[in-house]
């Protein structure tokens, strides 16, 4: 079962209510046991993107993304940054 955790050094770049809503939907869907790619697709295709290594991102708005690491073996998503771009 997939789990979501927030990194102790997670950056939060001040979300709008719409961005927070998309972020919450995305993470809640993962917590219900869905793969992050599926969670992205179920929220209107959030632009799930592999950035190299185990780092991924999804779009929560025109100007904001969620960056996370993804451990497929242990089914763990660790949120690294919410909002903004890298």
Q: How many domains, the chain?
A: 1
Q: Which is more confident, 34 or 85?
A: 34
Q: Which strands form 49-52's sheet, in the order they lie side by side?
A: 3-12, 76-82, 65-71, 55-59, 49-52
State the Cα–Cα distance between residues 54 and 80, nearest whole angstrom: 12
**How much is the pLDDT for 67?**
97
CB of 41 closer than 8 Å to CB of 12: no
Query: What domain range includes position 40?
Result: 3-82
The CATH number assigned to the domain holding 71 equals 3.30.2310.20
Does pLDDT of 52 surpass 90? Answer: yes
Does pLDDT of 7 surpass 90? Answer: yes
């Amino acid at each position: 079962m997939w789990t979501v955790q927030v990194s102790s050094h997670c950056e939060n770049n001040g979300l709008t209510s719409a961005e927070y809503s998309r972020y919450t939907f995305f993470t809640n869907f993962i917590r219900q046991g869905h793969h992050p790619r599926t969670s992205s697709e179920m929220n209107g295709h959030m632009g799930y993107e592999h950035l190299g290594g185990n780092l991924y991102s999804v779009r929560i708005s025109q100007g904001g993304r969620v960056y996370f690491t993804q451990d497929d073996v242990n089914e763990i998503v660790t949120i690294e940054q919410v909002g903004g771009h890298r």
